[in-house]
Structure 1
Amino acid sequence: MDLNGKTVMLVDDEPAILESLNYYLQRSQLIVTNAKCGEEALAQFRNKPFDTVVTDLAMPGMSGLDVLQEIKKCNPETGVFILTGRGNVELAVQALRLGAEDFIEKPFDVEKLILKLGNYFEKQAALKRTAMYEKILPICAYCKKIRDDRKVEQGQGEWVHLEDYLWKRGTAMSHGCCPDCYEKQIKGLLGS
């Protein structure tokens, strides 16, 4: 996965961790911004959202779980990764239930974090592609019927005639003929 240009906010009250992570993530072509506490991170995030946030769990003031909740309120699409030196199963489950992408115990391998970030970006790209395709109106290339998925699970709708579909949606219609079809009709009538 190409990480070039993806934005990451690092949140940790330990300057050495911020500096080290910043160095390695920038080497992976990520655009990195640091915050020394949760409050600083949220102020920066509200001014300019980031693709991902990597936050320490235990910090003075706002905890990493607080940061996670506030980031998700601002933008549910932002991936949040929790780092901790004091992890336990209950905290991990709580973080994941709140929407964290992952719960990573310190010390950790930075390359694995970069891989997890890459996987997250690939997943987001796939979700965007899927959402784009779901907005495309399925039309049969032969009979020109349309699948009406509005009130059922995607892909399970009834195939209806174009006019019926538009009528159900409340779209006003008039019958006419485009210039190309008009030419074809005239040529057909005249035997040309």
Structure 2
Amino acid sequence: MKKKLRVTSFLMMGIFMLAACGNGESSTGSDTAEVPQKMVATATGELATLDSALYSDVTSSDAIGQIFEGLYRIDGKNNPELGLAESEPDVSEDGKTYTFKLREAVWSNGDAVTAEDFVYAFQKVVDPENGSPSSNQMDIFKNAAAIRNGEMDLEELGVKAIDEKTLELTLENPITY
């Protein structure tokens, strides 16, 4: 009897250990089931904001960088790679106009990411009414400094949505970066 109990115990332990070795994939072969995604991260302090136009602290910057994606992102080796840009931009002969095609992407609510979303974001940073602490970084774009100083309208910023998936950025001057 003891031997039978011992063998049964070892078999049960083996079954439980094998079950624990699963990879979490369905054995049905179906890949249509949605798996909830979860990310856990620590922060060095309290987040001031998750508004990419208004942050000025490192903690918020780190969180924004983990949540949002731009035209480019940084890979695991600290090199830039395409993010929401589908391919490298077309650059005008004078080096001032960059035209990006956006890849298919959606916001967390399922709405499509569009070129107009980028226009909105750039205009929000430059808009003097928002008081963005990083608005001067937008001065590389055509008319940005004049808009920040209240001398021109937001619509004159060198950032345009050509269509839903085409974004045109016009610079004040050609830049190497």
Relative to the length of structure 1, the TM-score reads 0.22
More helix by share: 1
Relative to the length of structure 2, the TM-score reads 0.24
